[in-house]
Structure 1
């Protein structure tokens, strides 16, 4: 009697559970177009804030000769490489949509 329950559970129930969670994992791993738009907005906001910080640091450095900015220096080549990569990825993404 137990075999009648165990055999269908192994051949029907177990694959069903596995396939169910595989499809759940695949759908959860993707980001939506709304998420992509939000990331683009956040990236542009971060760029604007970075430019504002550069402006503030320049103004303070102009008024105070002893001021040493603690942040990353503006337009330092090593710092701009990751930004350039992000901008290229965004441009490629926009090219795919068009």
Structure 2
């Protein structure tokens, strides 16, 4: 009976002493990084991507209007 308790207790103690503290440190470190939000560099990159997406949307709209004028049935062919 004592052998079974020892077999069960040993992994629990190892987990509580080694794994649990590392797990908690990494968990709260990631929570802190998430709560800080975007860095200036990340925000600039995000803004640049948003600008590119707007330009691309404008180009697509222009191309669609040209195709509508020159080949009205182009949408049915795709």
Tell me the TM-score normalised to structure 1 length.
0.46
Q: C-alpha distance in 2, partners of 1:45/1:60?
A: 22
Aligned partner of 2:41 among 30, 34, 38: 34
- Give the greater-gyration-radius structure (CA): 2
Q: C-alpha distance in 1, partners of 2:22/2:70?
A: 67
| Larger RCO, structure (CA 8 Å, separation 6 or more) | 1
Q: Which has the larger helix fraction?
A: 2
Tell me the TM-score normalised to structure 2 length.
0.56
Q: C-alpha distance in 2, partners of 1:17/1:64?
A: 64
RMSD: 2.7
Question: Which consecutive residues of structure 2, in runs of 5 or more, have no partner in the other structure?
Answer: 1-12
What is the aligned residue count? 60
